[in-house]
Homo-oligomer: A and B are copies of this chain.
Amino acid sequence: MAEFLVFANQQHLVQGDEAVRTAERERAMELRAAGNLKRLWRRPGRRGWIALWEAADATELHDQLASLPMYPYLEITIEALATHPQER
Q: Which residues of A contact B (CB under 8 A)?
A: 2-6, 8, 11, 13, 25, 28-29, 32, 39-46, 49-50, 52, 57-59, 61-62, 65-66, 72, 74-87
Contacts and interface: CB of A to CB of B under 8 A. Distances in A.
Contact of A78 (B8, B44, B76): B44
Given A13-B72, A72-B13, A42 B2 contact: no
A79 B49 CA distance: 12
A87 B50 contact: no
A77 B83 CA distance: 17
B86 A40 contact: yes
Contact of A43 (B45, B72, B79): B79
A33 B8 CA distance: 31
Contact of A44 (B42, B75, B82): B82
Contacts of A6: 45
